[in-house]
A and B are shown apart, each in its own frame.
Chain A
Amino acid sequence: MSTWDRFVETFFNAKVMVKYLPDILSGMVVTIELAVLIVLSGLFAGLVLALLRALAIRPLNWLIIFVVDLFRSLPPLVIIVLIYFGLPAAGVSPSGFVSTWLSLAFVLMAFSEEIFWAGITSIPKGQWEASRSTGLSFGQTLINVVLPQALRLTIPPLTNRTIAITKGTALGTVVAVAEILGQASSAVSNSYNPSPLMMGAAAYLVLFLPVVVAARWIETKFAWKR
């Protein structure tokens, strides 16, 4: 057996790959479910926090900044482990799936709040004044005048950050979530062959490469021209 054959036999073993393909596919479904939940809830919560911060209520803003800085400082894995192994001590036992979802959603919330906030504050004061001088309220100005401009500015950094955090779904393996990496590594230990890991890597590429390419396109499309 040549070295090449041995290499293919080891990393791209057809028998093993066929056998574990359904597992990897089901892992992809779990990863997609997790990713969609994280993106939707994380961005929504981040936007809500940024809007609350715009109200400029001092104690509330201190609280928001504290929470945001907390989740920006902690490694996501630490948050996952804390929720999964720590919360049961307080009487709630979230599943690995829920722990991973919540943790990464909190992290995305924190980073996206900062990005939304930077977008809101970068809108010139004159926009607020023009709108308020025609009788629009604070909230109406925020929603109709400031936010549409701010969101446009935030799309490129937000896309990048969202991709980076969503890839963290692989951390779910640690708390037994059957996402791609989890499926792949248990397939490896059952088959004594690393081919499922190659399938796992391919699965991540299939999921994330189109998103990364789309992000590149979005970035050029939404570059702000005045």
Chain B
Amino acid sequence: MSKPIVEAREIHKHFGHLHVLKGVDLEVAERELVFVIGPSGSGKSTLLRCLNRLEEPSSGSVVVDGIDMLDPRTDINHARQRIGMVFQSFNLYPHMTALGNVTLALRKVAGKSRGEADVLGMAALERVGLADRAGHTPGQLSGGQQQRVAIARAIALEPRVMLFDEPTSALDPELVGSVLEVMRDLRQSGMTMIVVSHEMGFARNAADRVVFMDDGLIVEQGPPAAIFENPTQERTRAFIGQIQRH
């Protein structure tokens, strides 16, 4: 295993009285795909959001690609370019075209000229198979296409790590495949990925490791086959049994 590119140590997160993360340790190696599962409210989204500091951990440390994310001296806006994030609800900018969505950060953060940004943006849209929709606004795209534009927006910045928070949960079943295909492509190209999702089929054939979270802690982790077929923890077994009945 190569050196870890994400190192989260002893992450605690409180929302007022609510103790949501209770000391989570997560190491992710370069080019690894880690799949995170767990019941609703177990803290999966909060953990992802602590990794790029959309959420401020109450304590612990997060180092991504050698950058201490919680150090106040860290230029967080610079650091975030290396960590792509994809949301359940796409969160595309509705007042911009697909290309506008993809190029905004290239121009404003990466300092590219409009011409350079357009070239890189088109290349990113090409990778998700939507170069022909560059001029469409989000309202003119299907859910699956919107999510692929959102992925293009993140990969255009050439991140070292990609975080996915239930990328297909808001999609009609027939649109899920196209998004998973793009994710599989990304994986093939060697992208390090942390994926929160319920797509167990994808986990089985694409994940290097499955992490099961419950009640703010990582309960168990291992290769997909081990977690799905032979979980050692009772809580994991109960959860796997539950989702497989659906």
State whether these chains interact. yes
Write the residues of chain A forming the contact surface with B, with a CB cutoff of 8 angstroms: 124, 126-127, 129-137, 140, 144-145, 148-149, 152, 225-226
Known interface pairs A135-B80, A144-B104, A226-B139; A130-B93 also in contact (CB < 8 Å): yes
Contact across chains for A144 and B54 when beta carbons are under 8 A apart: no
Contact across chains for B91 and A144 when beta carbons are under 8 A apart: no
For window 43-72 of B, CB contacts with A under 8 Å fall at: 52, 54
Tell me, in angstroms, the Cα distance from A51 to B77 when the chains sit together. 21
Contact across chains for A130 and B91 when beta carbons are under 8 A apart: yes
Q: Give the distance to chain B from A142, nearest Cβ to Cβ, in Å.
A: 12
Known interface pairs A132-B80, A133-B54; A140-B95 also in contact (CB < 8 Å): no
Tell me, in angstroms, the Cα distance from A140 to B79 when the chains sit together. 16
B residues within 8 A CB of A148? 95
Tell me, in angstroms, the Cα distance from A148 to B81 when the chains sit together. 23
Known interface pairs A135-B109, A136-B108, A136-B109; A225-B139 also in contact (CB < 8 Å): yes
Contact across chains for A226 and B77 when beta carbons are under 8 A apart: no
Q: B12 at interface (Cβ–Cβ under 8 A)?
A: no
Tell me, in angstroms, the Cα distance from A134 to B154 when the chains sit together. 7
* Range class of the B interface residue count: 20 to 34
Q: Looking across the interface, which residue of chain A has its beta carbon closest to that of B81? A: A135
User: Which DSSP category, helix, strand, loop or mixed, fits chain A's interface?
Assistant: helix
B residues within 8 A CB of A130? 85, 87, 91-93, 150, 153
Q: Give the distance to chain A from B91, nearest Cβ to Cβ, in Å.
A: 4
Q: B78 at interface (Cβ–Cβ under 8 A)?
A: yes
Contact across chains for A135 and B105 when beta carbons are under 8 A apart: yes
Tell me, in angstroms, the Cα distance from A130 to B109 when the chains sit together. 14
Tell me, in angstroms, the Cα distance from A140 to B93 when the chains sit together. 14
The answer, among A129, A135, A152, for a CB contact under 8 Å with B77, is A135
Tell me, in angstroms, the Cα distance from A59 to B93 when the chains sit together. 32
A residues within 8 A CB of B139? 225-226
